[in-house]
Amino acid sequence: MGEEVAKIKCCCADDGAYCEKLLPLWRNKGDAIIVLLDSKDELYDTGPEKHNIATSEVGEEKEKIIVKISQEVTLDTFPVFVEIDGLFLDKVICRGDLILHSRDDNKVILKVERDNECHLGKRLWLLWSLRSRGGAYWGLTFSNNGYLGVASNCAYIVDPRGEVVSERCPEEGPVRNVSYCCGKFGFAYKSHVLIYDLKENEWKEIYTGFVGTRAITMLEDGFLAGFDYLAHFDFHGKKKWKVDIQWVENGPVVNEKYVYVPRAYWPRENQGALTILKLSDGSELKTIKFDEIVWNVQICGNRLAVGTVHNVHLYDISDLLNPRELWRRNGIATECEVSTCHGAWSIAFSPNCKYVASSDVRDMKIHIFDVETGEQVLEKRFGSYARSVAWWRDRLVVGIDYKRLHLFKVTGFD
């Protein structure tokens, strides 16, 4: 049996630990941790408990990689992330040698140069992918315990492992928006709202009485819904108030006693606005106009993010009725010159409010920005329209229209 040595450099720089040379793919041998790689060089988080083998987009079975560990490295310190063009370690304590057996039974010893804790910087590691059943991913949102609501051709509930646990497919689809609050997911489609009780595993359908319902925001005592209107309903479908407000493509966000509403195509087709309403009665308190369509708004702490066709805006809302712009970043939908492009259709804050992720539909990307500085800290391109994003703990989900739903582990973000 031959022997080959590849060194690992361990450091605390942003590019972390890496192999100096390209490693071959490995076949099954021995008894240790399984790591998965697909034919498109995506990244998969496995851990000692995960043994299921997924399939790649081209339908080829992924390689099983068995890693043998020397006595100096324990399972607790062994990395669970591997990349095809080198061995990438996430926060692994580097001690001793890692021994891998290749296809031709040659033994490869990965020599660790020195003891250290290695970090990879800001990266996305693919945990699972769910193949689309057709349609765009109009909206995504997480529950408090990591279940995912998906608005697409149907309304889907996906568990943290990537399994669809419940679904409803309206005859009048598609489902255009999803929201979560207080143990319930809400989905908007046509003139109806679907409510899914996560604890009871039960669906309920409510007729809004208005054709073209696209936006929904779940509340403790009911929900907001609309498109060319906005109304507050209780869970029996009784309307508390209704205002004529155009055009609301995605759900408003509620902060204390105020409602922040993203408005598209208003007052003209290529313009938009952010309107603040009083939650108690829907009365309008303030409107900020934009010279492009406003697709989405989100709030985290005293920061408000606005997604438009070509920009992401960040505001300080310490004064809730007087948002103060801190920064604006363009570079969204650069490959589209039409004023109605779906650029920053979806935005999501990290749980600690330090970062904000934005979809970039037409450029087929997502962007992550530092909230304090506005600096872009990560960009990832996909093979089709990247429409929706949602963030929960260290998990970021991205919906790629008509293709796949990708769930990533986010590392390097405080």
Secondary structure (DSSP) of 63-77 = EEEEEEE-TTS-TTT
Peptide bond into 247 cis (omega under 30): yes
**Which helix (H) or strand (E) covers residue 349, if one does?**
strand 347-349
Question: Is pLDDT at 391 greater than 70 in this prediction?
Answer: yes
pLDDT surpasses 50 at 109? no
**Is a pLDDT exceeding 50 seen at residue 397?**
yes
Label residue 122 by pLDDT band (50, 70, 90): confident
Measured between its terminal Cα atoms, the distance across the chain in Å is 45
At 108, the pLDDT band (50, 70, 90 cuts) reads very low
The C-alpha atoms of residue 78 and residue 402 are separated, in whole angstroms, by: 37
Nearby residues of 85 by Cβ (< 8 Å), 6 or more positions away: 22, 41
Structure confidence at residue 21 (pLDDT): 25
Of 59 and 147, the one with more pLDDT: 147
What whole-number distance in Å separates Cα of residue 201 and Cα of residue 36?
33
145-180 confidence digits (pLDDT tens): 999 999 999 999 999 989 999 999 998 879 999 999
- Span 317-374, pLDDT tens digits: 999 999 999 999 999 999 888 888 999 999 999 999 999 999 999 999 999 999 999 9
Q: Residue 27 has what pLDDT?
A: 26
Looking at residues 90-94, what average pLDDT do you find? 33
Strand 303-308, strand 294-300: pairing:
antiparallel
Return mean pLDDT, the chain: 77
Q: How far apart are the C-alpha atoms of 256 and 243, rounded to whole Å?
A: 19
CB under 8 Å to 232, separation ≥6 — which residues? 219, 222, 223, 224, 239, 240, 241, 242, 279, 282
Pick the range with the lowest mean pLDDT from 16-30, 140-154, 230-244.
16-30
pLDDT for the residue numbered 121: 61
pLDDT of residue 90 exceeding 80: no
Taking alpha carbons only, the member of 187, 164, 189, 185 closest to residue 174 is 189
pLDDT at site 54: 24
141 or 47, higher pLDDT: 141
Is the separation of the CB atoms in 140 and 36 below 8 Å? no
Task: For each of the domains in the chain, give its residue range(s) and CATH number, in order of start.
Answer: 1-121 (no CATH), 125-411 (2.130.10.10)
Q: Which residue has the higher pLDDT, 82 or 288?
A: 288
Total Cβ atoms within 10 A of residue 208: 23
Contact 411, 120 (CB under 8 A): yes
| Contact between 90 and 81 (Cβ < 8 Å) | yes
88-97, 250-259, 328-337: least confidently modelled range = 88-97
- Give the mean pLDDT of 33-49: 30
Do residues 152 and 137 make contact, with C-beta atoms less than 8 angstroms apart? yes
Confidence band for 134, pLDDT divided at 50, 70 and 90:
confident
Q: Which pLDDT value is given to residue 123? A: 79
| C-alpha separations of 282 from 212, 230, 285 in Å | 20, 8, 9
